[in-house]
Amino acid sequence: MLRVVRLLKILPLFALQRVMIWLIALSCLAAGPVFAQERVLGLRVGVHPDKTRIVLDLTGELPYSLFSLADPYRVVVDMPAVAWATGNGSAGAGAGLVAGYRFGLFRRDNSRVVLDLTRPAKVSRTFFLPAAAGKPVRLVIDLAPVDRESFLANAGFKGRQRIGDTGTSADRPARTGQVELPPPVIRSEKTTIVVDAGHGGVDPGATSRSGHYEKDIVLDVARRLQRQLLNSGRYRVVMTRETDVFVPLRERVNIARNAGADLFVSVHADSLRSAKVRGASVYSLSEKASDKEAAQLAAKENSSDVIAGISIGNETDDIVRSILIDLAQRETKNKSVRFAKLLLPELGGVGALLRNSHRYAGFRVLMAPDVPSVLVELGLLSNAADEKLLMSSRGRDKLAAAISEAIDRYFAERQS
Ligand SMILES: [Zn+2]
């Protein structure tokens, strides 16, 4: 009953990108991977009368490239995988034309800085300053305001400025233009569970009261879940990510489909403005959100690609629509709901549950038409009790065990 879902028209960009990827692959072969040692020591944003200046302190010069994206206005700086002095990527507040920024690994071999702009702006100048007077090598990026029309004229992949660029695999992300969902190709004797640790790399997700990132917490829980499932001997487990790397939402869906997944579990931990609210919740896909909070959460989780500096453009609504129509995959939907209902009491046995703890909304990561999929918010990082649970090794083990138990029950029921 598999039907290929035609999501999008093929973007002409796609062919171009493939050529670029090949060129990049060749240039990498020639040059060898030499940038992994470079480190970013810091990032500053300074406001001048005529420009906003971003300075990256580096241990050495490295190839980089820049491009801009509209709606929301962003400037993206790509470079080879580098180490960050501040750890595994971070976010910060901006100044002037920069509203805020994030940096981290975008792909295994590609680090990225995403600058959120307060208004349309262009990169007016970029250059390296050599190490001098006790200061490290600096990459300087100047931004100057422009109007929306000229921003749009230069935005996107076409407007990419290649400066000293060996080209990184940053070219790949724009493959969001990619189109047909391939049919599942791998079938396993064992039941296949795809465990999806939310966010990652340049997308930190929510931040806890004490400054821990959702991306790190959920990856650890996902790994514990993976181990528990493998230990049972009953499952084959596929992870959408195993490191602190960004994975586009659609790619997560594709991983599930290509793996021939029997179940997809996306693991998250949200944060709210109110510190009082606590509890886990489980979400399944629906065209109409069950309530305002679920719709807001879906919008937040769906913004992952925007946060990581991917252009999703206008096609997004079409994708959502077409998948939701194909979501006449009623069977998939029913299975997802059944799993969600098994999962909640298990989670409730570990910590608190949100009111109306099973909700529905248009989560993009749950849109595999043929894979029962749920998104679980393990708790609220804005709440002290939930944070404590999520920051403890025991708490994480228990949460992973709750999910693992629900998975056992779900497949046991199916067999009987
Ligand atoms: Zn999340």
Give the CATH fold of the 191-415 domain. Aminopeptidase (3.40.630)
Reading the block at residue 338, the tokens are: 């059944």
Distance 205 CA to ligand 1 centre (A): 5
Say which residues have a Cβ less than 8 Å from residue 212's Cβ, sequence separation at least 6. 381, 387, 391
State how far the Cα of 304 lies from the Cα of 246, in Å rounded to an integer.
9
Residue 103: how many other CB atoms lie within 10 Å = 26
Residue type at 141 in one-letter notation: I
Give the residue from 124, 141, 81, 126 showing the smallest Cα distance to 105.
Answer: 81
pTM, full prediction: 0.72
Give the residue from 111, 157, 114 showing the smallest Cα distance to 18.
Answer: 157
Distance 238 CA to ligand 1 centre (A): 19
pLDDT of residue 316: 53
Give the residue from 114, 138, 118 showing the smallest Cα distance to 127.
Answer: 138
Give the residue from 265, 279, 291 showing the smallest Cα distance to 365.
Answer: 265
Distance 362 CA to ligand 1 centre (A): 14
pLDDT in tens, the chain (416 residues): 333 333 333 333 344 444 344 444 434 333 334 445 688 888 999 999 999 999 999 999 988 888 888 888 999 998 888 888 876 557 788 899 999 998 888 887 888 899 999 999 999 999 999 999 999 999 999 999 999 999 888 887 554 554 443 333 333 333 333 333 444 445 567 899 999 999 999 999 999 999 999 999 999 999 999 999 999 999 999 999 999 999 999 899 989 988 889 999 999 999 999 999 999 999 999 878 888 888 989 888 888 888 887 765 545 555 555 555 454 467 888 899 999 999 999 999 999 999 888 999 989 899 887 899 999 999 999 999 999 999 999 999 999 999 999 999 999 987 65
State how far the Cα of 135 lies from the Cα of 130, in Å rounded to an integer.
8
pLDDT of residue 313: 53
Distance 11 CA to ligand 1 centre (A): 29
Distance 307 CA to ligand 1 centre (A): 12
Distance 84 CA to ligand 1 centre (A): 23
Task: Please identify, in words, the CATH class of the domain defined by 12-170.
Answer: mainly beta
Distance 160 CA to ligand 1 centre (A): 29
pLDDT of residue 10: 34
Reading the block at residue 311, the tokens are: 């252009």
Give the residue from 263, 215, 260 showing the smallest Cα distance to 241.
Answer: 215
- Contacts for 204-208: CB closer than 8 Å, 24+ residues apart: 204/89, 204/90, 204/91, 204/102, 204/104, 205/268, 205/269, 205/304, 206/268, 206/269, 206/270, 206/271, 206/381, 206/382, 207/91, 207/271, 207/381, 208/269, 208/271, 208/381, 208/382, 208/387, 208/390, 208/391
Distance 141 CA to ligand 1 centre (A): 31
Domain boundaries, the chain: 12-170, 191-415
All residues with CB under 5 Å from ion ligand 1: 198, 205, 268
Reading the block at residue 38, the tokens are: 């470079």
- Do the domains 191-415 and 12-170 match in fold? no
Distance 408 CA to ligand 1 centre (A): 24
Distance 218 CA to ligand 1 centre (A): 9
Strand 235-239 vs strand 191-197: parallel, antiparallel, or unpaired? parallel
Distance 409 CA to ligand 1 centre (A): 25
